[in-house]
Amino acid sequence: MRIVFATDLSDANEAAIESRTCLECLDNIGVREVHLLTVVPDNVSSGLPGMEAATDAKEALAPQRRVFERAGFDVETHVARGTPHRRINGLAERVDADMIVVGSRGEAPLRNRLIGGTVRNVARTAVRPLLVERIEETPDGHAVRKEHLFQNVLYATDFSENAARAYDFFPALTGATERASLLHVGGRGDSASRVDAEERLDELASDLRDRMGIDVETSVRSGNPVEEITAEEERVGATTTLIGARGTSRLRRLLLGSTAESIVARGTNNVLLVPPEATPSR
């Protein structure tokens, strides 16, 4: 498996790269090749006499490259100028990446923030699966909020075609996922729809047990999808939430759909977002 790991050279992103547990998770799903990328916006200079910002960034990537290499990955480094989300997605397509990995917060010395708008725009435009690692501040600096990235996966589905594509990515997580929780959030008071959802989730659960040999549980909840998904994350102790990039929204151009976008923007869990164009690597 080949990934693009986008970094803004901040302490927060360094925490994601230096987490041995996270690196082992990537190795467990078959990642062998890492394309380490940082993007310098056109309007940014290093502020150092005689040095270009791109050259400065290339040198700053060296320590992060060594971390990946020591963990056994083949690594190529890339420094690009331009709009971050366009360069990230462009590299992912050019190298035919199986996944893009970004951190959810950070502030770089070059004022290139790989948070907020950049992550949101990568998610909106990605044609490759996107893993958003949640990074939090600690008394000692920064750390990945849930290091065992794929150990306990919550799959949220509205039974749409795009949700089905996200489900089809499960086999790519073989070797790292020990437990899966399947969730559907429906409207209130519709008992027939609830029964139908329970039956459909049971079928998916049986399929996962047969294909991956993991523990699987199902749940049907009613209410606001974002609130119920985040509540379920807490209840089952999920380490990553797997979701399709677009639900049943009619506004498809550059939109995630309100549920997926809110989970990426406001959630506290790692998120694995699978866009319609993505295909599983295994």
Which residue type does 171 have? P
Q: Are residues 140 and 170 in the same domain?
A: no
More confident position, 52 or 71: 71
Q: Is the pLDDT of residue 119 over 60?
A: yes
* 117 and 166 part of one domain: no
Higher pLDDT, 208 or 114: 208
- CB-based contact 76:25 (threshold 8 Å): no
8 Å CB contact between 63 and 34: no
* Domain interval for residue 19: 2-144
Helix extents (H) in 79-116: 84-94
- Count of domains in the chain? 2
Q: Please write the tens of the pLDDT for every residue from 161-212.
A: 889 999 999 999 998 999 999 999 987 767 778 899 999 999 999 999 999 9
4's CB contacts (< 8 A; 6+ apart) are: 35, 37, 88, 91, 92, 95, 97, 99, 100, 101, 128
- Do 122 and 12 reside in the same domain of the chain? yes
Same domain, 6 and 127: yes
- Residues above pLDDT 90, as percent of the chain: 46
Same domain? 100 vs 191: no
Q: Of 40-44, 127-131, 242-246, which one has max mean pLDDT?
A: 127-131
* 15-27 average pLDDT score: 78
Which has the higher per-residue pLDDT, 218 or 56?
A: 218
Kindly report the CATH number assigned to the domain that includes residue 161: 3.40.50.620
Poorest-confidence range of 64-73, 106-115, 248-257, 266-275?
106-115
235 band by pLDDT with thresholds 50, 70 and 90: very high
Q: Is residue 276 part of a domain?
A: no
103 versus 52: which is more confidently predicted? 103
Residue 44 confidence (pLDDT): 56
Q: Which of 144, 171, 186 is the last residue of a domain?
A: 144
Residue 180 lies in a domain: yes
* Three-point CA angle 194, 197, 198, nearest 5°: 85
Alpha helices of the chain — where are they, by DSSP H? 11-18, 20-28, 53-70, 84-94, 117-125, 161-167, 191-212, 225-236, 258-266
Q: Dihedral sign, CA of 200, 204, 206, 207?
A: positive
123 lies in some domain: yes
Asked whether residue 78 carries a pLDDT value surpassing 60, the answer given is yes
Structural domain ending residue among the three candidates 144, 177, 194 = 144
pLDDT in tens, 246-261: 644 434 434 455 687 7
Residues 103 and 184 in one domain: no
Per the model's pLDDT, the better-predicted residue between 282 and 138 turns out to be 138
Q: 210 and 188 share a domain?
A: yes
163 plus 200 within the same structural domain: yes
Q: What confidence score (pLDDT) does residue 93 get?
A: 94
Please tell me whether residue 33 adopts helix, strand or coil conformation. Answer: strand
Mean pLDDT on 3-12: 79
Domain annotation covers residue 187: yes
pLDDT band at 115 (very low <50, low <70, confident <90, very high): very low
Average pLDDT, the chain: 81
One domain, residues 125 and 234: no
CB 178 within 8 A of CB 150: no
Residue 273: pLDDT band (50, 70, 90) is: very high
Domain end, chosen from 89, 111, 144, is at: 144
- Does the residue 43 lie in any domain? yes
Question: Would the pLDDT of 8 be above 70?
Answer: yes
Placement of tokens 């725009």 in the chain = 121
Q: Do 168 and 140 share a structural domain?
A: no
Note whether 85 and 180 are same-domain residues.
no
**Domain shared by 35 and 80, yes or no:** yes
Report, as an integer, the average pLDDT of 213-229. Answer: 93
- Structural domain includes residue 279: no
Are the C-beta atoms of 242 and 99 separated by less than 8 Å? no
| Two structure tokens written together for 55 | 């050259």
Question: Strand order of the sheet with strand 179-186?
Answer: 74-81, 33-40, 2-6, 99-103, 130-133, 270-274, 240-244, 152-156, 179-186, 215-222
Nearest to residue 270, comparing CAs of 153, 177, 189, 175?
A: 153
